[in-house]
Structure formats: C-alpha cells, structure tokens
Structure 1
C-alpha cells in the first residue's frame, strides 16, 4: 500500500471540501426558465468585453442556465458544462436534458449545474451570423488545379466578409482564448472561489486553456473527448481522418455481422463507397435538401451518426435508404451541420483556432493525398479538413492558432480519451494529459465520441471524480 498516495489523496479531498466555505457573493439575477425536461431551470446573463485589449467594440452578453443543487445542505459549488462544438450550446444542453441520465444524478444532487453559451453562440449576443453562402455544395473542397484552389479562396474570403458584416467586431474576437477569459468572468459573477468543469470535445480545449491561465480557480475538471491544441494542424488533420476511418470500419464490421443492421451480410464498406461515388456523380437524391446530395454531405452524415454507438442501427437504415432502388439520403443529410444555425460559429471559431496551413494548390493537394491514404473510405469528410479547407482564404486573422497551453498548479485533472473515437483520437488525449501536471488519463476501448455520451463506465468515473476530487487511480480503463 502506497502511504504517500493515500496522504496526497486525503490532502486533495480536504482542500476540495473546504472550497465552498469561502464562497463570495453572486452578482447574478436568476429568473425561472423551466422546460419540460428541467422544471427547476433558472436563467441569467453576464456581460463581458468583446475585445479586452480595446474597449471600443463594446460588450457581449453571455447566456447562462442553472440547475440548482437538489441537496442544498451538501452542495459542493458550481459545475460549468460545455458540450462541445465549437458553437455548441451549454444553455440548451443543460435546459433540455443533457444531464438527465440516472448515471449523473449525483451531479444534480451536489452541484449547481451551470450551462453557458460562449461568446457568439446560440443565446448569447451578439450572435455570430453568416449567410447561406457559407456552405456551397458546388464548391470543390479538394481542389485539383490552381483555378479550383483560387475559387475556394475567393469563396471563403467572400463568406467571411459577409459573416463580418452581419456579426460585427465580435467575429474577430471569437477565439477560444477570449472565451476562456469569459469563464473567469462567469466564475466571478457566480461568486465561486473555484469552479468544477465538465467539458466535452471542443469543451476540453476551452477548459484546458482556462486551467492554463487560472489554475488556482479550478476545483475539478473533466476533459472528455480531448482536443490537443498543441498539435500542428497538418498532423491533426491526418490523425483525425485516421480515427474517422477506424470508426467507419468498425461500424461496417458490426453491420455486416449483426442482424440489427439493415445491411446485414453485405460488404458494407463497398456499399458505402458506392453510395458516396454515386453522390459524387449527382445520382443520390435527398428529400430534406430538395436536391441531389453531394458526396461530402453523404459522408458527413455518416460521420455524425458515428458519434453515438447507440445510433449504429439507425445509420445502417439511413445508409441502406441512400443506396436503395429509389435512393433518398435524407437520413444522412438531415444530420449534417452545414445548414445548422450554429455552422457560422463553428466555422468562425474554428478559423481562429485551426487556421488553414495551405500555401497553394500543390501543398493542399499533397496533404489531400496523404488524407486519402489514411482514410481510403471516409476521406470525403473529416472535421479538421472541413475546418482548414473552409479557412483557406478566410479574411479574419486567427487569434488562437495551435500552441501549447501547459497547466501547472491546478488540482489533478481527469482526461478521457477513446481508442475508437471518430472525432478525437486517443493520441490527442495522451498529448493533452502530458501537458497537465498531475493529470489522470482514463482510456475507453468502446466506440463513439466522448465517454459521457457512450460509456456507463466513463460516466461513473467522471461523476465520482467530480464529487470527490479523487482521480480513478489504477482503474483507468473502460472496456
């Protein structure tokens, strides 16, 4: 028995338990904003500077939702939640049942759960607003010639200028570093000496940047579906594409052998390739789009179904329908983010954090060739290629390109990564954990994006850590 480890664990537990005793007064005015899913929900807002270096652009108003701790006598403090994105709504996630799983009941008992919409997102104002031209299905995101590359650059420049005209100065200040300082403003407004944090996907980057800047203000922090923002963009593109390919292959293996799948017994990868190839020729209709779906849109629809392991049967049906006698890709294309109201925020924040590395058509073509090599089936869509191809020519200077944000002086932080996560490779979780002093890495061997949404084992470990402040120790594997 390691007595030093026990002593350290007791010390952490004492420090964690002592935090609420020195809570400050909150400056927020909460009002009821009940939903059917969350009848106790309350809403408020916090004003923050658009540009902390220049007061002229004015302020932004951040929307907040709180679910008060059910056990007030044993309340620990505030747990801030970010469900990902970029462009995801913490307000919507909290107000509409994102934490309603029985596995998370202890969080509801012991914390004021606070969801917020980062600057520019959803219920926060001003909102990042872009025109419908942001996504042009006719545009080639894998340009094979200089004219095609220049057309991509011109389109992205015009789309960015349109977003800027519609949004105003916030667009130039929608980076993650600015959003992390907004978290500090929220903490102060809540009157909390320290916060707990539950960040999924992009929420791991946002949380890690906050912890790097304000390590003494962190009580506990879960970074689930980890993004390692220190990785060079070119490397991240290939790593993520390989992860998406791995997830697609695992789905195809399951589908071929499972009676639950509409394509049971078939060569699913060949079927998928055929559907995407036909879409590239303009031969796959989508009834929700009212036109033929592109290969990118079909591939993106498959990708988004891979996020949740429980949606694999639905993916089988949707893919079968897209390749049937009378093809309709509706089940795939209705899941795309391209037409979502949050796609503008997704693109604008992404271009601040993951700017295009491409210098010209030859450079872009060379990396596209490597991408096809690591993802021979799924290469048509991966998130980092969507970011970087969409940011090629983007007119807003990037305020937060990839760089290390090491965390020193924070309590132990729990990083969660999946060996078969389609969006955030396990190597990213390992890299992020290595940059955080005293962190613990929980590894999932199952499927889907994030442990919170796919793994009862991961949910249990995250809840126990958030409540107690103690990392899982030697039990750091979820099968």
Structure 2
C-alpha cells in the first residue's frame, strides 16, 4: 500500500515498461457458489499484482483461444464476473463461447482482489452538493474532494492507459499471439485503448455500451445527462402502461426530488441527489423496473430501497472515483463556469439532472489532488481486425451517439445497434448476445465492406 501522503507523487511516475510477463500458474479455486471448473492465478505487473480467473474451454479440441472480459466500472471485477457467471456468460446465446474459449477475467490494478487495492477514507458527505449554488458551496466541494483524495492509497498509475498495458502483459503471460475481448461500458474504453496501441494482437473485440474517450468532458456530460433523462422517461412511460403501475411515477419522482425523503437505511433524511442516484442505478436493467416503481411509491415513508442502490457508499466507489479522476478530470474553470454547465444539464435533463455518471466524475474530481494521467483524447484504431461496436437507442448511461463516434475512430469497425431499454446489449438483448457470440467465434462481423452497421430489434 502506498502511504497517502506519497500517493500524488507515486501516481505521477511514468509507467515502467515491463519485460516479458511470466507464465501464469493456474490453480483450481471453485467454491459451492462459483463455476465448478473455475481456476485462479495472479500476475505481477509494475507496482501491483493482478487477480485473474479462468474458465477453460469446454471443448478443448475446438478451442479458439483466450477471451478476456471486463464488466465496466471503473471498479468492476472481471475475475468475479467469470467466477459467478455474469456478463451474460450463463445465457444460452453465449453457450458456444464457453465451449470454444478459455474465458479469462481480471481485476484491474487497484480493483477487487488485485493488490494493493485502492482504499480511501469516507468519500460521501450529504452536506456537500454536486450542484453548488454559490461560490462558498463550490469551495466546499473542492475542499471535500481534495481531502478525500489525500486519504486514498493504492497502486501506481490506475489510469486506463496503464491498465491497457496490463492487458498486454496478460496476453504475454497467457502465451497468446492474439486475444479476443468482450468489454462493456468502461470496459470498452480499456478495449479501444488496447486496440489502438496493440492492434496486431487483437483477434476479435466487442465494445458494448461504448464510451468514446475522444469526446471532450463537456460534450460527454451533456450527452449522458440527456440519455439518463431519456431512460427515466422510458421507465415512466412503461409504468404508465395498462395494468403496470397505475399511477404517474414521474410526478412521484419529481415530488421526491423537491422534498427528499427519510431513509432507515441511512438513519437520516436522504437528499434529492442521493435519491436520484438510487433511481439511476435501477434504470440499467428493465428487470428492476417493477422494484423501482415500488421503491418510488414507498419512498415518502422510507426511501431505503433507493438509498441502498446509490453508489457513493459502495465498496467499488473508491476505485470508481480514483480511476475516474485519472481519466475524466473536472473541466470547470471556476464556480461561475460550473453553474453555467449545471444550467445546461438542467435544460437537457429537467427531471433527472441531479445525477448522471459524468457529472459525478466532473464534480467529484474537482479539486482532486492527483493530476489526470489519461484525460479525454482521441486514439484512433488502425491495423486491427474488424471490431464490433455496440450501442443502444435507450441506454441511460452510454448514449448511442458515443457508439457512433467511437466507431468512426476505429478503422474498419462495424456498428451494431439495438432498441432495448437498459445499459448495454449484453445484459438486455438476446439479439445482441447472438450477434456478439457469432462474431467472437467467427472473427467476422457478418457484413460487407459497403455495410458497416447492423440492427437488433425487439422480437
């Protein structure tokens, strides 16, 4: 663990180019709760040790190679996803992936079971608003974020650029000439950066729920705020359907945002910003919408179901914030500038403006004591095989426009779109999973050079 007072200096060190990675030593690590054939390993990288898990191909004679997966975040554990059958790995559409690939998950540096872990002191103060109304509130936010950042300890260079180089170290340790990749949400950023820097070592790559790191922060903030608003309106529209909720959930939501609500889970009254974050977490998966409707109805008496879902106190949040501030720094030049952009956010998201992830990054990284190592910038991908970029028309977290713009930066890529609700196709669309599995197995996206897009539609 790096002492807190030296974290800033340590993070500014230039990443060390590692020699050829040692071969991995796998051992059985299955438990009653995990896949029976689960194997585990650790890989030393400069400044950290990475935790990996693997499900060996069920049909060794037809094995294609290693498929690396990342579930997003920042802060998501790829090792756990593989161990517990997440990321659609247990669905019928992905059955052939289990047959043909060694499926490999890893915890990026600072995340999950990798060591040292990113650890911080208390990160959330309900008295500090992410929408400060005046200069004094702005200064409180800056001071709070700086104090939080100075409590953090962890590995050197947790930024995505360094993580992409760790992926190359994993490839070498696996002994693979080329790897296949399935990344969702933030995992698309890791994958795209790896492909930009090591295109010759990509066999096939799915980037689902695309994040375009080439977009300026201000553009990304407004794009995502509008997408979150759209997701909330889609939920409200669903709820208003015959025989579903039977009342106006959007009006109930607006009333919560105006007044806040008590939460037994917190032991105090929840702020509107906390409630909005809890609602947002449910928009990812339409399967959770019935539960969200019940939570919104119950919130005036007890909002525990909403506050339990907000990210600010989750175990992954220190890594989410620490990595996020390396990749998505605050763009504000001062309090007046923040208020101007906040007004724009309110315009594009008149109901849901109190929480979206890129606003959380921007305001949470304001005053962060460590300069960003990997701020937004374009890194075009050339020389890789055709890469499949996936975006959803109703994704509340990664707007379809990001999939379009990322696809234009990846030479020869194919864009797959879907019209399901929720975040990413892999979690919400059987059609998308079928396309992704077929592509990963064949290595070809099923289009001609003249047709660089594919649709997935309901039914």
Which of 37, 56, 63 is 1:75 aligned to? 63
Name the counterpart of 1:476: 454
SS in 2 for 1:257: coil
SS in 1 for 2:240: helix
Residue 27 of structure 1 contacts residue 191 of structure 1 at CA under 8 Å; is this kept in 2? yes
Which of 345, 352, 362 is 1:378 aligned to? 352
Which of 399, 416, 423 is 1:449 aligned to? 423
1:80-127 per-residue CA deviation (whole Å, 9 max, x = no partner) reads 000000010001111012121222111100000000000110100010
SS in 1 for 2:320: helix
Residue 25 of structure 1 contacts residue 191 of structure 1 at CA under 8 Å; is this kept in 2? no
SS in 2 for 1:476: strand
Structure 1 residue 25 displacement after superposition: 11
Provide the C-alpha distance between the structure 2 equivalents of 1:258 and 1:45, rounded to a whole number of angstroms.
Answer: 53
SS in 2 for 1:199: strand
Provide the C-alpha distance between the structure 2 equivalents of 1:33 and 1:100, rounded to a whole number of angstroms.
Answer: 19
Which of 357, 366, 369 is 2:340 aligned to? 366
TM-score, L = length of structure 1? 0.88
Structure 1 residue 477 displacement after superposition: 0.7
SS in 2 for 1:198: strand
Alignment RMSD, CA only?
A: 1.3
Name the counterpart of 1:53: none
TM-score, L = length of structure 2? 0.92
Provide the C-alpha distance between the structure 1 equivalents of 2:112 and 2:267, rounded to a whole number of angstroms.
Answer: 26
Name the counterpart of 1:104: 94
Provide the C-alpha distance between the structure 1 equivalents of 2:305 and 2:207, rounded to a whole number of angstroms.
Answer: 31
Provide the C-alpha distance between the structure 2 equivalents of 1:289 and 1:75, rounded to a whole number of angstroms.
Answer: 50
Point out where structure 1 has 5 or more consecutive residues left out of the alignment.
1-23, 50-58
Which of 192, 213, 225 is 1:229 aligned to? 213
Structure 1 residue 269 displacement after superposition: 1.4
SS in 1 for 2:105: strand
Residue 249 of structure 2 contacts residue 293 of structure 2 at CA under 8 Å; is this kept in 1? no
Runs of 4+ in structure 1 off by over 3 angstroms are: none
SS in 1 for 2:393: strand
Structure 1 residue 287 displacement after superposition: 1.9
For 1:295-306, list aligned pairs within 5 A: 295-306=272-283
Structure 1 residue 290 displacement after superposition: 1.9
Which of 109, 115, 118 is 2:105 aligned to? 115
SS in 1 for 2:440: helix
Provide the C-alpha distance between the structure 2 equivalents of 1:181 and 1:109, rounded to a whole number of angstroms.
Answer: 28
Which of 130, 137, 156 is 1:148 aligned to? 137
Provide the C-alpha distance between the structure 2 equivalents of 1:330 and 1:146, rounded to a whole number of angstroms.
Answer: 32
Counting matched residue pairs gives 431
Name the counterpart of 1:130: 120
Which of 431, 435, 440 is 2:405 aligned to? 431
Point out where structure 2 has 5 or more consecutive residues left out of the alignment.
1-19
SS in 1 for 2:425: coil
1:121-158 per-residue CA deviation (whole Å, 9 max, x = no partner) reads 010001000111x1111111111211111111111111
Provide the C-alpha distance between the structure 2 equivalents of 1:369 and 1:140, rounded to a whole number of angstroms.
Answer: 15
Provide the C-alpha distance between the structure 2 equivalents of 1:190 and 1:317, rounded to a whole number of angstroms.
Answer: 47
Name the counterpart of 1:316: 293
Provide the C-alpha distance between the structure 2 equivalents of 1:439 and 1:304, rounded to a whole number of angstroms.
Answer: 30
> Judging changes above 3 Å, is the alpha-carbon distance between structure 1 residues 186 and 259 closer, same or farther for their aligned structure 2 residues?
same
Structure 1 residue 259 displacement after superposition: 2.1
